[in-house]
Amino acid sequence: MAYADLPLKVLNLGLIPYAEACNLQKKLVEEVACGVSVNTLLVCQHPAVITYGRRCGHDHILVSENEIRRRGIELCQTDRGGDVTYHGPGQAVFYPIFDLKKIGQDLHYYMRMLEEAAIAPLKEHFGLNAYRREGMTGVWIGPYKVGFIGIAVKKWVSYHGMSLNVGVDPEFFSLIKPCGLDVKVASINDFFSDEVQLETICDMIVEQMAHVFQFEVTGGSRQW
């Protein structure tokens, strides 16, 4: 469904506050929509933050707002789809700002390809039994959810995106009902005795994302 060899710019934002990343995405959405910028993939980590989608209330946040603040965690409502999730250090976050008119105006296909960008390297490079579950958006290893997807679209340009737990303290996920589901959450490093570097995972997912959408990485910063 994609057009081959569309250019892709990859930007590493490092550790960036959630609100700052959201503002940058909105700016890029307008630029991509009017053709000023090419498709862009933002890669980052966030300081500890719990976010919830535009149609989601606090029902799946299991502690008080005061308790969240006491733990030094930010709480943000966002304009993406999906339910509640956690972002924090040790989690790789990918925000594709993609012109969906050029890769197929099919949001289900788009989300399946985001999943595939994480599943393929986890299986092929790390030997993990990563997979998707029918009717449940995200990435799983055995009974554990390790990857989370929540997107938004404006003028047929995507924003928000996907996060993958690489080395996240699971205690943070006990404060919420992730994605509104009763699920166990894990990180990639839970399955290995030697630590997998977040930078290694990021490189592999960037390459796989370019592959599944038939993009050619042409610029930006790829030094994590």
Active-site amino acid positions? 179
3 state SS of 146: strand
- 137 among the known binding-site residues? no
Q: Check the annotation: does 14 bind a ligand.
A: no
CA 54 to chain centre: 17
> Does 83 count as an annotated binding residue?
yes
The CB density around residue 27, as the number of other CB atoms within 10 Å, is 12
Q: Residue 85 annotated as binding?
A: yes
Residue 95 is labelled as binding a ligand: no
Nearest one of 213, 217, 155 to 26, comparing CA atoms:
155
How many C-beta neighbours within 10 Å does residue 224 have?
A: 17
Q: Are 175 and 62 in contact (CB under 8 A)?
A: yes
Q: Regarding beta strands 136-141 and 74-77, do their DSSP bridges make them parallel or antiparallel, or are they unpaired?
A: unpaired
List, in sequence order, the alpha helices (H) in the chain: 18-33, 65-70, 107-124, 198-212
**Is 87 marked as binding a ligand?**
yes
162 assigned to a ligand binding site = yes
Residue 80 annotated in ligand binding:
yes
70 is in an annotated binding site: no
Which residues does the annotation place in the binding site for substrate? 80-87, 161-163
Annotated binding site: 80-87, 161-163
